[in-house]
Structures are given as structure tokens and as C-alpha cells.
Amino acid sequence: MPVASCIKLLTIYNVLQKVHTAKYTWNSIVNTSGTGLYQMSQSQACGGFVLKHHVKYTVRKLYQAALIDSSNAATIALGRWVAGSNAKQIRKMRTQLSSWGLRGNYIISVSGLDNGDLSRYGYRYPGSGYYAQNTISAQDLAVVARNLVYKYPEVTNTTKINHARVHGQWIHNVNTTLPGRKYNVASLHINGLKNGYTPRAGYCLVGSSCKPGYHKLITVIIHDDDMSSDTTALMTHIYKTHRLR
């Protein structure tokens, strides 16, 4: 299934891999040059967090924009920083999935945008069709999220943030299952993880819960207009019917 921006979790995994090496830090500067990237960040449909030519962006700031605001431009810039180019990051994502034994998925986008959007900004993966998009199973996406949360648990410190200010811009998390939001259920202790939407993928949500005294729980909802309420209903059902202690 197409999962839109939920695939950003795989790019974020690679970002954290690199940050945790001795050579790089959260304060490393990321190259955000390129007309296409700046134009994408200013697009109503594909943007959100606007990149500015005179600003030097660190890994930390783009990481926040990618996870909280779901910025496509920030995610692509991070992918280029990780692997050296957009195409190389896509190949790295494919290799990462294979290393976890996840096969049969199709990855052509670092951010989750379809080629219909990526083509106009110069980020269409070579050899992929004009209407191509990422596809991955719900179970495999859950494995991606599980590996991310297991190896880098600090990621939920960012995914649970509702609003933040980055370089003078407010960024907003559209995940309405978070504390203080409309569909939050306090007893579930939800701390993210990632939402996504494109017209073809519909509304998608990878949920994460860390209920005291229980194992961490990850849920995946794909192509569901009621993704938020269905996420909390699914989490509630699992806690009631399965031994997770």
C-alpha cells in the first residue's frame, strides 16, 4: 500500500544512524541548496516548513521539521546529507529494508511524495514511472517503526511534540492522538509516531504507545479517514486482549 509521509521514518532511521557515528553531530550543517528544494518548501501542497537561502540549517533543525511538520524538503535535504544524493538515499532505504528481511516493497521517494509531485521539483528517481509511488505493507512499516524506536528511543521525544519554533517559523504536528489533542486517550500514553497523507495513499498513521508496565506498542493504520480514532481504538483493543507485560 502507499503510505505517504509515514515512509519518512525510514529516512529518519538513517539520519540517526549517521548522527550516532563519531564523525557527525546534531549541529552538522546540511546542504539545502537547489532551486527545486526551495520551491518545494514554498508549495502549498508539498511544503510547510519554508527553507530560506541565507539560513544554515543543522541536522537537528531539519530533523525537527521532518518529524513534527512532516516537511518534505527538510526530509529530502537530510537524505542527501545521509547518502550524498537523493538517488543514493533511496538505494540506501531499499538496502535497509532488505537488511531487515523486508522484501517486495517499492521505494522511489525519500519523503513519501509521489512522482507526480517530485517530478516538477527535479526529484524523480531515475527509471521510475511518472505516477510511481512508494508502496510497503502495513506489517513491514510496523517493523521499520519498531526498529527505529528500539534502536533510537529518543525519537519519541520529538514525535510527541505538538508545536515548535524553528528558525522563526512555527511548525505544527497534525497527529491528533497526541496529549492535549482531540483524539488523545490519556491512559494509552501515546508518544507519536508519524502521520501521512496523499490523495492516493489516503490518511495514514503509525502510532506509538508506551503504557507504564507494558511493552511498547506500535500500530499502523493505512488509507483510513478515521485514522486517529481507529488508532486509539486499536491500541485499546490490543491492551485489553493481549498480554503485553
Q: Spot the catalytic one: 41, 70, 71, 111.
A: 70
CA 120 to chain centroid, in Å, comes to 22
How many other C-beta atoms lie within 10 A of the C-beta of residue 87? 18
Q: Mean per-residue pLDDT for 179-195?
A: 97
pLDDT at 244 over 80: no
Q: In this predicted structure, what is the pLDDT of residue 191?
A: 96
**Is a pLDDT exceeding 90 seen at residue 245?**
no
52 is catalytic: no
Q: Is 28 a catalytic residue?
A: no
Is residue 211 annotated as part of the catalytic site, yes or no?
A: no
CATH class of 4-139: alpha beta
Grid coordinates belonging to 143 = 517493523
pLDDT value at residue 243: 79
DSSP structure string for the chain: ---GGGGHHHHHHHHHHHHTSTT--TTPEE----HHHHHHHH-TTT-SS---TT--EEHHHHHHHHHHS--HHHHHHHHHHHHSSHHHHHHHHHHHHHHTT--S-B---SSS--HHHHGGGT-PPTT--TT---B--HHHHHHHHHHHHHH-GGGHHHHT-SEEEETTEEEE---TTSTTSTT--GGG-EEEEEEEEETTTEEEEEEEE--TTS--EEEEE-S-TTHHHHHHHHHHHHHHHS---
Residue 242: pLDDT band by 50, 70, 90 thresholds? Answer: confident
pLDDT tens-digit map of 116-170 = 999 999 999 999 999 999 999 999 999 999 999 999 999 999 999 999 999 999 9
Calculate what percentage of the chain has a pLDDT beyond 90: 94
Q: Is the pTM of this model over 0.95?
A: yes
For residue range 65-117, what is the model confidence (pLDDT) as tens digits? 999 999 999 999 999 999 999 999 999 999 999 999 999 999 999 999 999 99
Residue 57 — very low, low, confident or very high, per pLDDT cuts 50/70/90? Answer: very high
Q: Is 88 annotated as a binding residue?
A: no
Q: Where are the domains positioned within the chain? A: 4-139, 162-241
The predicted pLDDT at position 22 comes to 82
55: pLDDT strictly greater than 80: yes
